[in-house]
Structures are given as structure tokens and as C-alpha cells.
Structure 1
């Protein structure tokens, strides 16, 4: 089975990541949890996904070889973070920046390692950003996803986007919704309805195109 896959990655294997799979027409196939890196790789292989969207930074700023403060590597751009992060921030979409003081270093390293492993297998790996997708699709005025109202809003909107999700809505939480949005962004790429931010060398961030 060939599918489009979205992964909402956690920083470590202590907490399970979520995944969602859509078919080539953007219809819901499956979703679930994957705790270890091997679990994630096995999930991608099970669906034979050629396109995988991961919600995590997958690259470093130009000039960086790592995120360790003990290393003297530094950005060549003369500005913090990656060009994609600067562009999104300028557009009013907040996000974690990839710097040596980042609180998500472990996630960055994990995401980069997974992307490398998947690309060795011949799969295309894309950096996606579900929160940015929400802003692009629904605007900035959304209830917080951590509240019951926010979760109801999120589930309802995701169910409108992806055929087949409404039958599973009682099982959804905000992490699974983020995985579904990651997969939906990958689907939009196949329809030429995405916008890529930043430099290819640093890994671009893919969002739904404006005005959808």
C-alpha cells in the first residue's frame, strides 16, 4: 500500500509520536502511535510511503555542524535560526528556532536522523509545521488546542479537510490531529498547493499555500 504519511514527532522515545496516513486522493487511511525510531521506520515501510512529512526541524542553520554550545560552529547568515524560521516569524507565525539554546535540541537531532534514514531508503522527507498550517488554513483566531473547545474546533476542521476522518473523530486528540495536518500538507504538495519557506540547504518548511 502506497500512502502519504504525516508524523508528529516527539523529542524522545519516552513519549509516543503520532502518525497519519492518507491515500493519493487525500482520503483517510489510518492513524496511530509509534514510540521508537524503529517503530516509525516500520510504519513508513508498512505503508510504503514515498512522501513523508515530519513535524520537526530537519536541518541546521548554514554554518552549524551541531547545536552544542561547546562547539565553535556558528551561523554564516549573521542572524539566528534558519532562514525558514526567520521568514515564518516575519509572517507572524511563531515557532521554535533552531539555535544552540533551543529547548527542542533532542527533537532536532531525532528528526534529522530519521530523515536521513528514510532518504537512504529512497523516500522524500519534508519538514512540515501543523501550527503554521492551521494559521494558513483557518487564521490566527483559534481556541487553544489544550482546551475542550479548542480540541472540538480542531477535530471539526480536520474532519472537513480529510474525507473519512469523521468516522474516527471520537479517537482523536490534538497530537493525532497534528499528524493528520502533517499528512494533509504532504497531500497538498502533490496538488501543487503548498509554499516552501527558507533555503534548501537548511531544509525548507512546507505550508499550505495562502488563500486555500
Structure 2
């Protein structure tokens, strides 16, 4: 399962579940809706487009806190910048997204949750037209939203993880971001 998590529950979060040759794309808003989808589908793995941890030495992301001297980036964000830009976690929108991601991770204790960055995944896989890419490979009843498509990229990254053809950026003690390896057999099968 891939989730493109919104920073606030009033905004849409895109979800993609890949099962065999089929995908389910849907939009959810609240944590309750997301958790219900997880509990119904029982995914082997959940990959989320949202930070799931704080930078080392930080207790929060408030600029006024004494912990702010700990920095605004985790090691994984420093490493992923070689592939493209990422925002500091203390930006308003990123702060909300990070805190929601951490909270959702706690609520989904018992499930395997990993973090990814769909824009980087799309760039690494050389996908220029994401909507067409999905339409060419799967039957869709309706046009997917941008959030559902990002959920798809997160789920695709999850497949690469399950096939053990992924890279992990960052420090596991602080938090990591996973990205697919370009030569992953299962992704090459889907990409062709």
C-alpha cells in the first residue's frame, strides 16, 4: 500500500493498493479512514510519502524550542538532495505533514511502515507522464488524482522493497527514505 499523506485531515490523501496485476486507487481524508483502509486490506507493507521521524536531537519542529539547534534536516534528506530538492521539516506545511506522519505511524503500530519521496521515485524511474504511465499498465475506472498517483509511486517503491531491490538513504536510528533501484526486475516488468 502506498499513501500520499496530506498535512491536514481536511485535505485529500491518496492511497494505492497493488495486489497482483490490479491496483485500487482511492482518496481518504481522516486518519480514521486511512486506518480503516489498512485494516480492511491488511497490506504486507505500507509506504508513505511523509516524514515519519524528527531530525536527531529534535523533540519538536518549533523554531523557538531549544532543540531547534539540532537542525532542520535528517540525514536521509541530506542524502536525497543529490536526486532533487526537498523542503526543511520546519517549514509550516512540512511541519504539519511530519507531525501527522509520526502520529499515523504510532496509530498503525504492528504494520511495517516505510517512507519514500514520490517526486524522486518518478524522476529516478524516468516516468514523464504519470497518468499515461498508469493508464497504460492498469485498468482504471476514473481518472486518478495527483494524490492517488503519488500513492501509486509509493506502492511501486514498496514492491521494490519487497523484491529487495531498493536503496535506503539516511540513518536507521534517525529515519530513512527508501527509493527503488532502477534495475529492479519487478519494476522493469511493470515499466515495459
- Give runs of aligned pairs for residues 59-138 of structure 1, distance below 5 A: 59-74=53-68, 76=70, 80-89=72-81, 91-98=82-89, 100-119=90-109, 122-138=110-126
Q: 5+ unaligned residues in a row in structure 2: which ranges?
A: 185-192
Residue correspondences, number: 184
The answer for the alignment partner of 2:188 in structure 1 is none
Match of 2:153 among 148, 161, 181: 181
Q: 5+ unaligned residues in a row in structure 1: which ranges?
A: 143-152
SS of equivalent to 2:178: strand
- Give runs of aligned pairs for residues 1-212 of structure 1, distance below 5 A: 5-23=1-19, 25=20, 27-74=21-68, 76=70, 80-89=72-81, 91-98=82-89, 100-119=90-109, 122-138=110-126, 142=128, 153-160=129-136, 163=137, 165=138, 167-168=139-140, 170-212=142-184
Distance 1:183 1:101 in 2: 26
SS of equivalent to 1:32: strand
RMSD: 1.9
The answer for the alignment partner of 1:148 in structure 2 is none
State the TM-score, normalizing by the size of structure 2.
0.88
SS of equivalent to 2:173: helix
Alpha-carbon distance, 1:117 to partner? 1.2
State the TM-score, normalizing by the size of structure 1.
0.80
Distance 1:114 1:154, change over 3 A: same
